[in-house]
Amino acid sequence: MDVSEILTGLYSEQGRQNPYPFYAALHEHGPINAVPARAEHSTVSAVAGGYDIVDQILRDPGWYKGFPPGWEEQEILRTFLTSMMFVNPPDHTRMRAVFARTFTPRRLGALEPVIERIVAERLDHMAEAGADGHEVDFVADFAYPVPALVMAEFIGLPAADLSWYRQRVDWIDEYMDVSGKTPERLAQANQAAEELRAYYRDLIAHRRRAPGHDLISGLVEVLDAGGVDLTEEELISNLIVLFNASFVTTVYMFSNGLPLLLDHPDVTAALPGDDELARGCVEEVLRMESPVHFLARSAPAGVDLGGVPVERDDNVLLLIAAANRDPARFPDPDRFDPRRDGPPSLAFGVGLHFCLGSAVSRLEGRLALPRLFARFPRLAVTQPYTYSGSLFLRGIDKLFVTTGEAG
């Protein structure tokens, strides 16, 4: 397959369900390749799947995120492009400095008992729902509620609002995929952004009247005291993006990871009580089944990358998931090895836009997985599953299991 055929295959239904053969084919062409003008989705001039080049571009602060024309007219784009995940320096630096203060080792330490409590509650729920051999949807009963409830408590969202919130998150995620830029999905994403902005304005007003110990209360306090260089509307944009980015990736870390782990019963049997193994499993799941499969960056100047000329302002597609299976950096890359040596995965990015919520996601995985398999050592998948239609955020949305507990 040539590069054009590989990209066309990636964007097909076959590619969305299993992109890894296409990534392997791309590696045979080298770490970065020019994209022919005739290729599908050829708004990018080059595609990079090599670990070192993807890592290099993500770490270089000069490479920037381009703004699509007319972004000011769309609520969803205004929300994205006034948040630290999407803006470039110096605004990115200003915003990130505010939020970086909240993701401290002390705050993460305080989250541990919260995660442990929520995991225990969800395991009890799974045990009850799965009594007498009944099937349980692992995503609905565990993979989704654990990170959603953790982030809700951390940020300060009432748990009762999460069902309403999830629909808006889904509308936004559908729009973010390569194939999601349709008028219908744009309208839904705009509606979601408008409703979420109104929701956060009300929540901020409530926290001003009755502050708590959550992230929103703390940020509102310093915002009103003039202690941070951030407007209230920027705060809202960042809260929307932070919540989405910090829990959707964790949902897919759990749901994508479960079949992978169940294929290795020796690992799941050894997980309870082995914290080092738990950390290794989280990293290997993130490497092999990255929730985010690609990012894009624009060149600050003309440059030659691995023999491929890239002009100033050209877009380069960075295939995170391909880089995480680069055989040049991960020998036998399709083999699951939680004790693997090598560089860290790029699942949460690196550099300026490294995901702030990654430490929370990793902590949730490290605490939850050993408890899951200690409680349900005979956990088993019972039905064929499919991945979401998105290649940007790729994950299993329904995963039916039996817990293996006696009735």
- Say if residue 7 is in the same domain as residue 137: no
Could you report the per-residue pLDDT of 170-184, keeping only the tens digit for each? 898 888 876 667 889
Count CB neighbours of 183 within 10 A.
7
Range 133-171 burial, b when 16+ CB lie within 10 A, else e = eeebbbbebbbbbbbbbbbbbbbbbeeeebeebbebbeb
Could you report the per-residue pLDDT of 79-94, keeping only the tens digit for each? 988 898 888 888 888 8
Q: Residues 6 or more apart from 121 whose CB is under 8 A from it? A: none
Residue 287 lies in a domain: yes
- Say if residue 67 is in the same domain as residue 48: no
Determine contact, residues 379/373, Cβ cutoff 8 Å.
yes
CA distance 94 to 58: 19
Residue 406 lies in a domain: no
- Say if residue 135 is in the same domain as residue 220: yes
pLDDT reading at 207 higher than 70: yes
Residue 112 lies in a domain: yes
Cα–Cα distances (Å) from 151 to 23, 215, 216, 390, in that order, read 33, 10, 12, 23
- Say if residue 245 is in the same domain as residue 379: yes
Residue 407 lies in a domain: no
- Say if residue 23 is in the same domain as residue 167: no
Number of domains in the chain: 2
pLDDT reading at 358 higher than 80: yes
- Say if residue 255 is in the same domain as residue 391: yes
- Say if residue 190 is in the same domain as residue 147: yes
Residue 405 lies in a domain: no
Residue 367 lies in a domain: yes
- Say if residue 260 is in the same domain as residue 167: yes
User: Residue 367 is part of which domain span?
Assistant: 61-292+347-400
Residue 235 lies in a domain: yes
pLDDT at res. 243: 83
Q: In terms of DSSP bridges, do strands 400-402 and 136-137 run parallel, antiparallel, or are they unpaired?
A: antiparallel
Per-residue pLDDT, averaged over 370-398, amounts to 93
User: Token digits for 35?
Assistant: 């994209």
pLDDT at res. 39: 55
- Say if residue 239 is in the same domain as residue 335: no
Nearest to 66 by CA among 40, 87, 45, 85: 87
- Say if residue 137 is in the same domain as residue 149: yes
Q: What is the CATH number of the domain that holds 52?
A: 3.30.43.20
CA distance 348 to 90: 22
- Say if residue 5 is in the same domain as residue 90: no
CA 376 to chain centroid, in Å, comes to 26
pLDDT at res. 248: 85
Q: Full-prediction pTM beyond 0.85?
A: yes
Cα–Cα distances (Å) from 314 to 5, 6, 85, 172, 311, in that order, read 21, 20, 20, 26, 5
Residue 257 lies in a domain: yes
Which of 346, 369, 391 is at the close of a domain? Answer: 346
Q: What is the total residue count of the chain? A: 407
Q: What average pLDDT does the chain have?
A: 91
Helix axes of 162-176 and 232-262: crossing angle, nearest 10 degrees:
80
pLDDT at res. 244: 79
Which of 323, 346, 369 is at the close of a domain? Answer: 346
- Say if residue 52 is in the same domain as residue 151: no
* pLDDT band, very low/low/confident/very high, at 359 (cuts 50, 70, 90): confident
Burial bucket for residue 12 (CB in 10 Å: 0-12, 13-18, 19+): middle
* Start-end of H helices in 30-161: 51-59, 75-80, 91-100, 105-129, 138, 145-155
pLDDT reading at 406 higher than 70: no
φ/ψ (deg, to 5) at 334? -90, 5
CA distance 340 to 319: 21
Task: Express as a percent the part of the chain with pLDDT over 90.
Answer: 66
Could you report the per-residue pLDDT of 273-293, keeping only the tens digit for each? 999 999 999 999 999 999 999
Q: What is the CATH number of the domain that holds 375?
A: 1.10.630.10
